[in-house]
Amino acid sequence: MDGHALTLDKPILIVEDDSSQRRALMRSLSGYQIIAAASAEEALERLLSEEPLAAAVFDVGLPGMNGLELLEQVRPTRANLPVVLLTALLDRELINRACRLGAWFLCKPVSPTELAHVLGQIQQFEVHPPRADLSALIVKHGLSRRESQVLALALEGLRRDVIRSRLGIRETTVKKTVARLLRKCGAASLREIETNLA
């Protein structure tokens, strides 16, 4: 694998109802630990458990609950899990919903190299759990989930373009979110917040 290799101590969850496609995806990631699920319902059980995962790959076109709906179900408890959505058809609504949920997406058919590369990339943007003092600040000032995410990433020293990419939002949204959270915290800058936390 290239320099984007994932950590191997946690498995990747692949959710694909077509058995031949599922086997192909598993082969393309043969260097990694893989857990496979044939339905969203089966995957949901694993995702709602405390089972540690490095990343997840969902087919959007699952029967019953589709891949996007599955992601919406698990995001509240798996906020930091890197997820790639595979889709045969990209439309604006799908892209917008996927971006709001912090997911990456690839058009099928996906080459093994492309999938491994994207999984490696998104692993670099994994969000670390907020520090205890940051959690207290979030509660104290009533920050929204988006404001909390932007603040946590900014305090990790990430640039705005990286924050935008990680959260799947526009740069203008990052700027507006920063402005809102600064106003709520009564701070002139993110550096001032960081200094107060130190």
Q: What confidence score (pLDDT) does residue 139 get? A: 79
Question: What number is the average pLDDT over the span 55-69?
Answer: 93
Is residue 1 over pLDDT 70?
no
**Average pLDDT, rounded, for the chain:** 82
Domains 12-124 and 132-197 share a fold: no
- Residue 75 pLDDT grade (very low, low, confident, very high; cuts 50, 70, 90): confident
Output the furthest CA–CA distance in the chain (Å, rounded): 55
- For 10-41, what is each residue's pLDDT tens digit? 899 999 999 999 999 998 888 889 999 999 99
By the 8 A CB rule, do 85 and 106 touch? yes
Tokens at residue 166, please? 């990680």
Among 42-51, 85-94, 115-124, name the one with the lowest average pLDDT.
115-124
- Residue 124 pLDDT grade (very low, low, confident, very high; cuts 50, 70, 90): low
Q: What confidence score (pLDDT) does residue 36 get? A: 95
Q: What confidence score (pLDDT) does residue 94 get? A: 75
CATH number assigned to the domain covering 12-124: 3.40.50.2300
Question: What number is the average pLDDT over the span 114-121?
Answer: 77
Q: What confidence score (pLDDT) does residue 4 get? A: 42
- Residue 133 pLDDT grade (very low, low, confident, very high; cuts 50, 70, 90): low
| DSSP per-residue codes, 118-179 | HHHHHHHTPPPPPPHHHHHHHHHHT--HHHHHHHHHHHTT--HHHHHHHHT--HHHHHHHHH
Share of the chain above pLDDT 90, in %: 32
Q: What confidence score (pLDDT) does residue 127 get? A: 44
Question: What number is the average pLDDT over the span 149-172?
Answer: 81
CB atoms inside a 10 Å sphere around CB 168 = 18
Tokens at residue 176, please? 């507006």
Is residue 131 over pLDDT 80?
no
CATH number assigned to the domain covering 132-197: 1.10.10.10
Identify which has the larger pLDDT, 79 or 16.
Answer: 16
Max mean pLDDT among 67-76, 81-90, 137-146 falls in: 67-76
Domain residue ranges of the chain, discontinuous segments joined by +:
12-124, 132-197
pTM for the whole structure = 0.61
Share of the chain above pLDDT 70, in %: 88
